[in-house]
């Protein structure tokens, strides 16, 4: 099966892609393109999968720049792919040609940034913790240190968990309301005291208020489409032992 790569005109002319699970070498619960070295999948399969992604992006596997994601607001500037052990962060920015920025996800948001005029790009892993802490705005700040302008920067949120699948408790809601009471509009009433959180909607609002040129979500729900996407929450609900990780990449 061939690789399936979701792209957006907003990020052109940079080569980029939100990869689905199609076209990979992994099997079992990791069936497809699992690129997560932190999973219990066979290391050889993950390496084959990453090599296929790198080839699709026109770079060597060694030029896929990744970080050790920790649900933070930390963003680093890179001129080469970080060596092991990778730095703990959740966003990367660069102006270095030939370097591909990559983030992993399995319900959290993969977010790609591009200022075509400045030749500056960014890639961010944005779960609810990192988003609430300001990782999206931190990525824009880091890009601007390289000469980007957020008023020229286009941002695309890739496949992530949608509101209809994201049930949380009242204590979760309270954390967001403590930050900004206006965040209530991104929560819908669920069963009992449960509420449904609109993570991409919340993130698009933060990006637009930060002053980006354009921000959009590809409108793919990881939880609701098991044939195409891995999902941490779905794996928990199905009592699976582990889950695969999707990869999203952008390069100059």
Tens of pLDDT along 77-88? 999 999 999 999
pLDDT digits (tens, 9 = 90+) for 106-128: 999 999 999 999 999 999 999 99
- 186 with 115: CB under 8 angstroms? no
CA atoms within 13 A on the CB side of 140: 22
Residue 165 domain-assigned (yes or no): no
| Alpha-carbon span 148 to 239, nearest angstrom | 44
Domain hosting residue 238, numbered range: 5-149+225-251
The answer as to whether 174 is a domain residue is: no
pLDDT digits over 1-25, tens only? Answer: 899 999 999 999 999 999 999 999 9
pLDDT, one tens digit per residue, over 131-174 is 999 999 999 999 999 999 999 999 999 999 999 999 999 999 99
pLDDT at 55 over 90: yes
**Residue corresponding to tokens 């690129």:** 35
Q: What is the mean pLDDT of the chain?
A: 97
Residue 40 pLDDT: 96
The residue behind tokens 């999968």 is 49
As for how many domains the chain has, the answer is 1
Indicate whether 190 belongs to any domain. Answer: no
Residue labelled with tokens 């944005």? 126
Residue 57 lies in a domain: yes
pLDDT in tens, 182-215: 999 999 999 999 999 999 999 999 999 999 999 9
Q: What is the CATH number of the domain that holds 76?
A: 3.60.140.10
pTM for this model (two decimals): 0.98
């Amino acid at each position: 099966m061939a690789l399936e790569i979701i792209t957006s005109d907003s990020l052109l002319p940079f080569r980029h892609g939100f990869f689905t699970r199609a076209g990979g070498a992994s099997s079992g619960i990791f069936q497809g393109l699992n690129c997560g070295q932190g999973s219990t999948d066979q290391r050889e399969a993950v390496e084959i999968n990453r090599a296929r992604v790198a080839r699709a992006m026109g770079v060597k596997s060694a030029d896929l720049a990744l970080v050790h994601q920790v649900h933070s607001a930390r963003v680093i500037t890179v001129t080469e792919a970080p060596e092991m052990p990778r730095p703990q962060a959740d966003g990367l920015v660069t102006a270095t040609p030939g370097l591909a920025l990559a983030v992993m996800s399995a319900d959290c948001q993969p977010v790609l940034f591009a200022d075509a005029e400045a030749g500056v790009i960014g890639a961010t892993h944005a779960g609810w913790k990192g988003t609430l802490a300001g990782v999206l705005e931190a990525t824009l700040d880091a890009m601007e240190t390289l000469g980007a302008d957020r008023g020229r920067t286009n941002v695309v949120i890739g496949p992530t968990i949608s509101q209809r699948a994201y049930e949380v408790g009242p204590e979760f809601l309270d954390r967001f309301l403590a930050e900004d009471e206006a965040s209530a509009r991104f929560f819908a009433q669920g069963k009992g005291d449960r509420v449904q959180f609109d993570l991409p909607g919340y993130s698009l609002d933060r990006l637009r208020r930060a002053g980006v040129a354009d921000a959009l979500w590809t409108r793919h729900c990881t939880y609701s489409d098991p044939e195409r996407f891995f999902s941490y929450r779905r794996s928990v609900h199905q009592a699976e032992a582990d889950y695969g990780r999707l990869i999203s990449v952008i390069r100059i």
